[in-house]
Chains A and B, each alone.
Chain A
Amino acid sequence: MPSAPRRAPRPLALGSPQPPTAGPLPMDEETYLELYLDQCAVQDDLVPPRSPLFSPVVPYVYPPNPSNPETTFNSHLESKETSGDFSSVDLSFLPDEFTQENKEQAVIRSKHEIEENCETQSQQSRLPLPSGQDVGPGLDSSSLSSSRSHLHPGDANSIQSSPEKANSNPSPLASITPMTPMTPVSECSGIVPQLQNIVSTVNLACKLDLKKIALHAKNAEYNPKRFAAVIMRIREPRTTALIFSSGKMVCTGAKSEEQSRLAARKYARIVQKLGFPARFLDFKIQNMVGSCDVRFSIRLEGLVLTHQQFSSYEPELFPGLIYRMVKPRIVLLIFVSGKVVLTGAKERSEIYEAFENIYPILKGFRKA
């Protein structure tokens, strides 16, 4: 049985390597968020909300006695900020067993993303955020133009935030925090979209005999008259793969990037065990689908009227409103019940960002 050639293991070169051994880490995503938001809630009492345009930079004041794990948590954030984009780091050399650690780092990273998004989000939301009640089309032009600026935050906001970061340095506590919130971060929705499906592709880089694979592998279907690929399924992680004779493979059904990668590796190993010199090249996530629930009813007619250029709503065709967000380029399906499905993302952060962008808009069309 040929084993895959092992490359020399590289050190974890992901910026400053903080060992993720602080207390709270075995927790999952929700508790991270709660922890973070608890801090914000305390901080809210200390700092009154101000518009970013008119208030001076307010340093992020921590509660007087932060517990240890929290400071460690935040120091992680700061270090992670400099570590660069997670998804651009090539981890293909890592063996599968490494996924646990990657997952933790991914979680930390995504928490950071959420905070950053809350940041930019709350800055942006000052402009178009209508008051809690319903807004009629009388506010059409203003909300349209502001929603356009809102959805093309682009460089303006990020440029704006960096000089503010520089200004916040005087306070000694500020060095712990990577960001300078102008407004209470509880503006942020507090809802995290859950990933439902990830579609990825990988190149096994060798020609495959599909008939042989179908004959020898368990859980494989092959019907050459219908479709020119083998359909293989594994139970852990629960996924389906389409394997083509050119050596390319599509893997669908995983619920996280790591699971998708793990599953793809498992399929590659199966193919390897069948005698083909399979490799694992160009693993790429093609599409990510997330969903969440805002927990209030949404008045879609109002939304389609004010955001005409982005949305289309044909209830006799499909019960949801299709919203095409420009930045990030994500398609959202928004339903009356308050459920939102986000699709078209290549990275997890795009889903979070898109949701944080849409949340204040949805709040404005809340159906009491």
Chain B
Amino acid sequence: MVVFGTTFFNFDSFIGKTESTEIIGNPVFSHCYRDILPLMSGSGRFSLGDARRPLHETAVLVEDVVHTQLINLLQQAAEISQLRGARVISAEDLLFLMRKDKKKLRRLLKYMFIRDYKSKIIKGIDEDDLLEDKLTGSSNANKRQKFAQDFLNSVDQTGELLAMFEDDEIDEVKQERMERAERQTRIMDSAQYAEFCESRQLSFSKKASKFRDWLDCSSMEIKPNVVAMEILAYLAYETVAQLVDLALLVRQDMVTKAGDPFSHAISATFIQYHNSAESTAACGVEAHSDAIQPCHIREAVRRYGRKIGPLSPFTSAYRRNGTAFLAC
């Protein structure tokens, strides 16, 4: 996570603002991505911390960002697998791309393990599943875990990556998200909570075929395999989550607090994107509205892409294409 300015991040101001707002009814999506969009806009982001009825514009923007990032990611992965001489993009390429950011890599690995574990349990419960599994003859028990371990074994030169398997540190970002969710749900009544839970269950992996089409995989020469698609779906979800996290931070920053010694400097870190008076007003007033505005998203992406620190003009990092991936 990038350090955002000097403001000390403080969740408390969010607590009072989680009532639902009547900003929008149900906008009609004339987008060609209308299947993915509802997933990401309404419910998906609600479950990640946005308001109950997120803005349509924000949804469109988020979708755009995620789409761009995933396409770039895919292209880089394709290049790497070409280097390897493989015919499909496999999970190894994606893991390789993520090697720079340990925390995110560890989160991804944990996700894969949990997936394995869950299939193991579900198999034990339903006898039909048990037979299915025996019949297919493959022991998928720890397929993903073994696979990841083998790969990291081969790539790891300094031993840091392998150390991640034993590492049991708390993932702070995940912790924050859990705490935020807990806070939000504590004050909900049961109907709202049911809705919240349903929205949390949305993911990109549920509609795998639509996801593939959305990513326009068919036009690529090298296609990702099944495990790689799972990982991509997870990365897409993570990107949305990251965006929401960062946008909330930005929104927090924009609120001027009494007694904050740097309040006069805040405007300097926040570049005004909008030209029309209407949206300026909207952003200015937004302090009391719940939903994340597109300006927050843009600002979040801008800050994320910027390198901070004394050596920033000299580091090239993974930004060959000029985009920093939110997910890795």
Contacts A301-B178, A317-B118, A322-B118 given; does A368 touch B189 at CB 8 Å: yes
Contact between chains at B125 and A197 (CB < 8 Å): yes
Q: Can you name the residue of chain A whose Cβ is closest to the Cβ of B118?
A: A318
Does A297 have its Cβ within 8 Å of any Cβ on chain B? yes
CB of B187 to closest CB in A, whole Å: 9
The docked-state distance in angstroms from the alpha carbon of A248 to that of B3 is 61
CB of B211 to closest CB in A, whole Å: 13
Does B114 have its Cβ within 8 Å of any Cβ on chain A? yes
**B126 cross-chain contacts in A, Cβ below 8 A:** 197
Residues in B183-197 with C-beta less than 8 Å from chain A: 183-186, 188-190, 193-194, 197
Contacts A252-B130, A299-B185 given; does A315 touch B190 at CB 8 Å: no
Residues in B22-76 with C-beta less than 8 Å from chain A: 47
Does B226 have its Cβ within 8 Å of any Cβ on chain A? no
CB of B140 to closest CB in A, whole Å: 15
CB of B173 to closest CB in A, whole Å: 14
Residues in A266-304 with C-beta less than 8 Å from chain B: 287, 289, 297, 299-302, 304
**B205 cross-chain contacts in A, Cβ below 8 A:** 316-317
Identify which of B131-139, B299-307, B312-320 touches chain A: B131-139
Does B325 have its Cβ within 8 Å of any Cβ on chain A? no
The docked-state distance in angstroms from the alpha carbon of A301 to that of B182 is 5
**Which 8 residue pairs are nearest across A and B when measured between Cβ atoms?**
A316-B203, A315-B200, A252-B127, A301-B181, A301-B182, A227-B135, A301-B185, A336-B197
Contact between chains at A315 and B193 (CB < 8 Å): no
The docked-state distance in angstroms from the alpha carbon of A317 to that of B178 is 16
Contact between chains at B186 and A134 (CB < 8 Å): yes
The docked-state distance in angstroms from the alpha carbon of A227 to that of B137 is 7
Residue of B121, B134, B188, B189 ringed by the most chain A CB atoms within 10 A? B121
Does B87 have its Cβ within 8 Å of any Cβ on chain A? no
Contact between chains at B190 and A368 (CB < 8 Å): yes
CB of A305 to closest CB in B, whole Å: 5
Q: Which of B124, B188, B194 contacts A199 (CB 8 A)?
A: B124
**A227 cross-chain contacts in B, Cβ below 8 A:** 134-135, 137
Does A341 have its Cβ within 8 Å of any Cβ on chain B? yes
Q: Which of B124, B134, B189, B237 contacts A289 (CB 8 A)?
A: B124
The docked-state distance in angstroms from the alpha carbon of A226 to that of B111 is 31
CB of A293 to closest CB in B, whole Å: 16
Does B269 have its Cβ within 8 Å of any Cβ on chain A? no
CB of A40 to closest CB in B, whole Å: 30
The docked-state distance in angstroms from the alpha carbon of A319 to that of B200 is 8
Does B210 have its Cβ within 8 Å of any Cβ on chain A? no
Contact between chains at B115 and A367 (CB < 8 Å): no
Contact between chains at A240 and B131 (CB < 8 Å): yes
Count chain B residues whose beta carbon lies closer than 8 angstroms to a beta carbon of A.
37
Does B151 have its Cβ within 8 Å of any Cβ on chain A? no
CB of A16 to closest CB in B, whole Å: 38
Q: Pull 29 A–B residue pairs with CB atoms less than 8 Å apart, ordered by A.
A: A197-B127, A199-B127, A226-B135, A227-B134, A227-B137, A240-B127, A240-B131, A252-B127, A252-B131, A253-B127, A289-B125, A299-B186, A300-B197, A301-B178, A301-B185, A302-B185, A305-B178, A314-B111, A315-B201, A316-B237, A317-B114, A317-B115, A318-B122, A333-B125, A341-B125, A343-B121, A343-B124, A344-B121, A367-B185
Q: Can you name the residue of chain B whose Cβ is closest to the Cβ of A226?
A: B135
Does B202 have its Cβ within 8 Å of any Cβ on chain A? yes
Does B117 have its Cβ within 8 Å of any Cβ on chain A? yes
Residues in A62-83 with C-beta less than 8 Å from chain B: none
CB of A224 to closest CB in B, whole Å: 12
**A343 cross-chain contacts in B, Cβ below 8 A:** 121, 124-125
Contact between chains at B131 and A314 (CB < 8 Å): no
Residues in B65-118 with C-beta less than 8 Å from chain A: 111, 114-115, 117-118
Q: Can you name the residue of chain A whose Cβ is closest to the Cβ of B137?
A: A227
**B115 cross-chain contacts in A, Cβ below 8 A:** 317
CB of B127 to closest CB in A, whole Å: 4
Contact between chains at A322 and B117 (CB < 8 Å): yes
Contact between chains at B194 and A297 (CB < 8 Å): yes
Does A175 have its Cβ within 8 Å of any Cβ on chain B? no
Does A331 have its Cβ within 8 Å of any Cβ on chain B? yes
Contacts A137-B182, A315-B47, A315-B200 given; does A336 touch B194 at CB 8 Å: yes
- 8 A-B pairs besides A242-B131, A252-B127, A301-B181 with CB distance below 8 A are A231-B131, A297-B190, A305-B179, A322-B118, A336-B194, A343-B124, A344-B121, A368-B189
The docked-state distance in angstroms from the alpha carbon of A134 to that of B188 is 11
Q: Can you name the residue of chain B whose Cβ is closest to the Cβ of A296?
A: B190
Q: Can you name the residue of chain A whose Cβ is closest to the Cβ of B111?
A: A314
Does A136 have its Cβ within 8 Å of any Cβ on chain B? yes
Contacts A199-B130, A242-B131, A319-B197 given; does A302 touch B125 at CB 8 Å: no
Contact between chains at B200 and A316 (CB < 8 Å): yes
